Structure 1
Amino acid sequence: MKYLILIPDGMADWSIEEFGNKTPIEIADTENMDFIAREGACGVANTVPRGFEPGSDVANLTILGVDVRKHYTGRGPIEALARGVGGEIIFRCNLVRVDGRIMADYSGNRISDEEAKKVIDVLNAEKPYDFVEFHAGKSYRNLLILNRRFEDDVTTYPPHDIQGRRIDHYLPSDGELAGLLRELIEWSAVVMPEVTEKANMIWPWGGGRMPSLPQFSQKYGLKGAMISEVDLLAGIAKGMGMDVIEVEGITGYIDTNYRGLVRSCLKSLKDHDLVVLHTEGIDEVSHEGDAERKVEGIELYDENIVGKILDRVDLDEMRILLLPDHPTPIKVRTHVAEPVPFAIYGSKKDDVRVYSERSCLKGKFGRVDGLWLMTLMMKK
C-alpha cells in the first residue's frame, strides 16, 4: 500500500456574499477532489491545538502526528532545518514593504530570489552586531540568526496578519530581545532602500531555538518523502528524517510548475511508502484577498495536481488524504484556527458526494483531532 497526503495550503474559507454565500471551494469546479470525497470518507479536523497561533508550521506538524505542545519551538528554527543552518535563536525574517508606517505588503511586492539575495548580502555587510546574521531563502522568506543567548521571551506578529495596519502597534515587545529586534527593524529601513525599491524593511517573527522532532520512520514504520514549495515544510521533513524532493520551476504561487510537482510525486511514490505534496499558491492569493483568483487557484490545483495524479496511480493500491492545513479566509486575509475539511480515499465510503467545508461536516469521521489523521488514513 502507498500513502499520499495532498495539502493545498490555506484552501478552506468562509462563505462569501458575492458568491451567493458559498465558499471558493463550493464555487470552483473540483471534479477530482469531489471524486476523492465521493469514493472515500470525510470529516473535519482540528489542526491547530488550543492556545497556538494558526500557522502552517503548527498545522502541518499536527497533520503528520507531531504534538506541537511537546516539540514546537517556532517557525524560524524549522525553516533553518531546511537550509542546514543553526544558531542560538532563529527568526523567520520577511522582507516587507512599509509605507507611512503601514504594512503595505508582507512579501516585499513579490521580491525575486535574486533581488532578495542582494538585500541579504548588504544587510550582512553592514550589520551593527557580530552576533547577528541574515540568511537568504526564497523571495521574501529569509532568516535572522542570533548567535547569542537571550533568556527573555519576545512577542512578535506575522506580517501577513497586519497588512493595512500601523506597524507601531505590532513591533516586537517584552524585554531585551524585543529591543534588539526593534533596533534591527528601524536600521533596515535606512539600509534597504539603497538596494531595492520593492522591500524597504525587515520583519522578524516566529523565533525560537532549534527543535527536536520525532523521526517519521520510527513513528510509522514507513519511508516518507516531502515535496513542497516552501522551506517550512522542507524543514519539518528534515527534522523528522524524511527525504526532501526538490522540484525545478516552482513559484509558490498559482502559476507554479504543476507538471514538475506531479512528476516528482509519481516518481517518489515508487521508492517511498508515503509522500506529502504541499503547495502554497492558494494560500498566497488568499492573503491577497482575491476571491476570484482563489477560485482560479483551486480549479488549477484540482485539474493539474489532483486530476493528473488520479489518472496515473493504481488507486487499488493507494490511500489518499486530502486537506488544507488551515483556512485562510478571503475576508480576513490571514489564517484562522478553525477546522478544515478532509477526505480519505481508500477508507470505507460514506454519504458525502462533494468535497467542501460544509459537506465534509456530514462525513462519517465527524470532527477529529488532527493528530489522528495519519492513523485514520492508514487504518485497514
Structure 2
Amino acid sequence: MKYLILIPDGMADWSVESLGNRTPLEVAETENMDFIANEGACGIAETVPAGFEPGSDVANLTILGVDVKKYYTGRGPIEALARGVRGEIVFRCNLVRVENGIMADYSAGRISDGEARKVIEELNREKPYDFIEFHAGKSYRNLLIINRKFEDRVKTYPPHDIQGRSISSYLPQGGELAEILRKLIEWSAELLPSVSEKANMIWPWGGGRMPKFPRFEQMYGLKGAMITEVDLLEGIAKGMGMDVVEVEGVTGYIDTNYRGLVRSCIAALGDHDLVVLHTEGIDEVGHEGNAELKVEAIELYDEKIVGKILDKIDLDETRILLLPDHPTPVKVRTHVAEPVPFAIYGARRDDVKMFTEKSCRKGRFGKVEAINLIKMLKNKV
C-alpha cells in the first residue's frame, strides 16, 4: 500500500460576502477533491494546538505527527535545516516594503530570486555586527543568523499578519536581542532603497534555536518523501529524515510548475511508502485578500494537481489524505487557528459528497487532532 498526503496550504476560508456568503472552496469547481471526499470519509482536524500561533510550521509539523509542545523552537531554524545552515539563533528574514510606516507588502512585490540575492549580498557586505549573517533563500524568504548566545525571549510578528498596519506597534520586543533586531530594521531602511526597487526593509521574525525532530521512519515504519515549494516544509522533512524531492520551475504561487510537481509526485510514490505534496500558491492568494483569485487558484489545484494525480496512480493501492494546513481567510489576509476540513480516500465511506469546510464537518470522523491523522491513514479507520 502507498500513502499520499496532499496539503494545499491555506485553502480553508470563511464565507465571503462577494461570493454569495460562500467560501472560495464552496464556489470553486472541484470534482477531483470531491471525488476523494465522496469515495472516502471526512472530518475536521485541529492542526494548531492551543497556545500556538497558526503558522504553517506548527500546522505541518502537527500533521506529520510531531508534538510541537516538545519539539518546536521557531520557524527560522526549520528553514535553516532546509539550507544546511546552522547558528545559535536563526530568524526568518523577509524582504518587505514599508510605506509611510505601514507594512505595504510582506513579499516586496514578490521580489525575484536574483534581486533578492543581490540584496542579501549587500546586507552582508555592510552588516553592522560581526556576529550576524544573512542567507539568501527564495524570493522574499531569507534568513538572519545570530552567531552569539542570547537568553532573551524575543517577541516578533510575521509581516503577513500586519499588512496595512503601522509597524511601530509590531517591532521586536524583549531584551538585548530585540533591541539589536530593531536596530537592524532601522539600518536596513536606510540601506535598501539604494539597492532594490522593490524591497526597502528587512523584517526578522520566527526566531529560535536549532531543533531536533523525531525521525519519520521510526515513527511510522514508512519511507517518506516531501515535495514542496518552500524551505519551511523542506526543513521539516530534512529534520525528520525524509527524502526531499526538488522540482524545477516551482514558484510558490499559482503560476507554478504543476506538471513538474505531479510528475515528481508519481515518481516518488514509486520508491517511497508515503509522499507529502505541499503547494503554496493558494495560501499566497489568501494573503492578498483576493476572493475571486482564490477560487481560481483552488480550481487550478483541483485540475492540475489532484486530477492529474488521480489519473496516474493505482487507486486500489493508494490511500490519500487531503487537507489544508490552516485557513487563510481572504477577509483577514492571514492565518487563523481554526479546524480544517480533511478527507481520507481508502477509509470506510461516509455520506459526505463534497470537499468543503461545511460538508466535512458532517463526516463520520467528526473533529480530530491532526497529530493522529497519519496513524488514521495507515490503519484504514
Normalising by the smaller structure, the TM-score range is over 0.9
**1:285 aligns to what?**
285
User: What is the alpha-carbon distance in structure 1 between the residues aligned to residue 167 and residue 185 of structure 2?
Assistant: 11
- Output the TM-score relative to the length of structure 2: 0.99
**2:196 aligns to what?**
196
Secondary structure of 2:118's counterpart equals helix
- AA aligned to 1:350 is D
Q: Are 1:367 and 2:367 matched, yes or no?
A: yes
User: What is the alpha-carbon distance in structure 1 between the residues aligned to residue 199 and residue 292 of structure 2?
Assistant: 26
User: What is the alpha-carbon distance in structure 1 between the residues aligned to residue 370 and residue 29 of structure 2?
Assistant: 27
Ranges in structure 2 where 5+ consecutive residues have no aligned partner: none
Secondary structure of 2:177's counterpart equals helix
**1:336 aligns to what?**
336
**2:258 aligns to what?**
258
How many residues matched? Answer: 380
**2:107 aligns to what?**
107
- AA aligned to 1:335 is H
User: What is the alpha-carbon distance in structure 2 between the residues aligned to residue 265 and residue 38 of structure 1?
Assistant: 23
User: What is the alpha-carbon distance in structure 2 between the residues aligned to residue 322 and residue 338 of structure 1?
Assistant: 17
Equivalence map 1:177-326=2 (5 Å): 177-326=177-326
Deviations 1:192-214 (A, max 9, x none): 11111101000000000000000
- AA aligned to 2:344 is I
- Output the TM-score relative to the length of structure 1: 1.00
Divergent runs of 4+, >2 A:
none
Secondary structure of 1:275's counterpart equals strand
Secondary structure of 1:171's counterpart equals coil
Equivalence map 1:49-64=2 (5 Å): 49-64=49-64
Deviations 1:127-175 (A, max 9, x none): 0111010000000000000000001110000000000000000000111
Secondary structure of 2:332's counterpart equals coil
Secondary structure of 1:54's counterpart equals coil
User: What is the alpha-carbon distance in structure 2 between the residues aligned to residue 209 and residue 51 of structure 1?
Assistant: 19
- AA aligned to 1:332 is V
CA deviation after TM superposition for structure 1 residue 20, in Å: 1.3
Secondary structure of 2:13's counterpart equals coil
User: What is the alpha-carbon distance in structure 1 between the residues aligned to residue 20 and residue 127 of structure 2?
Assistant: 52
Deviations 1:83-111 (A, max 9, x none): 00000000000000000010000001110
User: What is the alpha-carbon distance in structure 1 between the residues aligned to residue 18 and residue 135 of structure 2?
Assistant: 42
User: What is the alpha-carbon distance in structure 1 between the residues aligned to residue 310 and residue 163 of structure 2?
Assistant: 38
Q: Are 1:152 and 2:128 matched, yes or no?
A: no
User: What is the alpha-carbon distance in structure 1 between the residues aligned to residue 369 and residue 246 of structure 2?
Assistant: 31
User: What is the alpha-carbon distance in structure 1 between the residues aligned to residue 307 and residue 357 of structure 2?
Assistant: 20
User: What is the alpha-carbon distance in structure 1 between the residues aligned to residue 67 and residue 15 of structure 2?
Assistant: 31
User: What is the alpha-carbon distance in structure 2 between the residues aligned to residue 257 and residue 291 of structure 1?
Assistant: 23
- AA aligned to 1:357 is E
Q: Are 1:21 and 2:21 matched, yes or no?
A: yes
CA deviation after TM superposition for structure 1 residue 19, in Å: 1.2
RMSD (CA atoms) = 0.4
CA deviation after TM superposition for structure 1 residue 17, in Å: 1.1
User: What is the alpha-carbon distance in structure 2 between the residues aligned to residue 80 and residue 30 of structure 1?
Assistant: 36
Ranges in structure 1 where 5+ consecutive residues have no aligned partner: none
**2:72 aligns to what?**
72
Q: What is the aligned-residue identity percentage?
A: 77
- AA aligned to 2:49 is P
